[in-house]
């Protein structure tokens, strides 16, 4: 009986930035648990790979190639999901990312762009999908934040602030959308994906990051996928407004980006 609570049969989930890495891992985990999935990203080729993984589990996958940072793209994504399936049960806001830069090099324009890309997009898609989520018996939102939002580190003024804002948004909406829609966040630590190849392919940087992680390994997209599956499933029906860190036990930044003293 307990395992049945982790099933997502009849469930429809939207996952942004799902062409690779964390997004692809979440989409695949959902499909394995019985959900149909709507995936979006800019690269149609990458989305096709994720769709194949979803369909290998016997589930339907709607592929929406799109630049989700463009005006109206997120509203269109929500509508496309509803038009295809007639329902939306979970939204995974995985779109985001900002390259580390020293504070003195981050203009106000860059800072505002980081906030918009990491938090504004999550806000917009959640709002667009809300009418559908309210009609779901298990409506939920999962925001993919970062340990940068809870750990201070150099070169992270824009990204860390944006992810901290996403965590705060999660807590606020956890209150405001209860009891019909649950809103939670995941804070990944260092996850081994194509986006982190600069570190994972450097012997020195790899060794440093792993030595600073108590579990002595990098996280994998599957680790985040499993956490998202729990939060989306009926097993987490009494969980809202929380942040779930998945960081291998790290209590601080695992890498030093070499930002010098001013």
Q: In the chain, what are the domains?
A: 3-192+221-240 (3.40.50.720)
Residues of the chain short of pLDDT 50, as ranges, are: none
pLDDT for res 42 = 94
**Per-residue model confidence (pLDDT) at position 132:** 98
pTM: 0.95
Q: Please report the pLDDT score of residue 255 as a whole number.
A: 86
Question: What counts of helices (H) and strands (E) characterise the chain?
Answer: 9, 7
**Confidence at residue 56, expressed as pLDDT on a 0 to 100 scale:** 98
On the CB side of 211, CA atoms within 13 Å amount to 8
Return the pLDDT at 205: 86
Q: Is 159 a catalytic residue?
A: yes
pLDDT score, position 202: 84
| Rounded Cα–Cα distance for residues 171 and 168 (Å) | 5
Q: H helices of the chain, where? A: 21-32, 44-55, 73-85, 108-115, 121-133, 157-176, 197-200, 203-211, 221-232
Task: Kindly name the residue from 159, 190, 218, 230 that is annotated as catalytic.
Answer: 159
């Amino acid at each position: 009986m307990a395992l049945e609570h982790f099933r997502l049969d009849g469930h429809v989930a939207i996952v942004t930035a799902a062409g690779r890495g964390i997004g692809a891992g979440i989409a695949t985990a959902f499909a394995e648990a019985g959900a149909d999935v709507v995936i979006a990203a800019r690269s149609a080729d990458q989305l096709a790979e994720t769709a194949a993984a979803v369909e290998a589990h016997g589930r339907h996958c709607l592929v929406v190639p799109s630049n989700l940072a463009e005006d109206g793209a997120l509203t269109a994504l929500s509508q496309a999901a509803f038009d295809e399936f007639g329902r939306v049960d979970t939204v995974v806001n995985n779109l985001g990312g900002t390259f580390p830069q020293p504070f003195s090099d981050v203009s106000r324009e860059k800072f505002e762009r980081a906030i918009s890309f990491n938090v504004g997009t999550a806000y917009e898609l959640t709002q667009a999908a809300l009418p559908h989520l309210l009609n779901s018996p298990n409506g939920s939102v999962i925001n993919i934040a970062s340990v940068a939002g809870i750990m201070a580190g150099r070169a992270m003024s824009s990204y860390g602030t944006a992810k901290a804002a996403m965590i705060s948004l999660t807590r606020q909406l956890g209150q405001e959308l209860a009891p019909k829609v649950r809103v939670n966040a995941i804070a990944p630590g260092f996850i081994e994906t194509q986006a982190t190849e600069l570190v994972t392919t450097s012997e020195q940087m790899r060794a440093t990051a792993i030595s600073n992680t108590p579990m002595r390994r990098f996280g994998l997209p599957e680790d985040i996928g499993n956490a998202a599956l729990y939060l989306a499933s009926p097993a987490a029906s009494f969980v809202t407004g929380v942040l779930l860190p998945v960081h291998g036990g790290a209590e601080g930044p695992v890498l030093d980006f070499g930002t010098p003293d001013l």
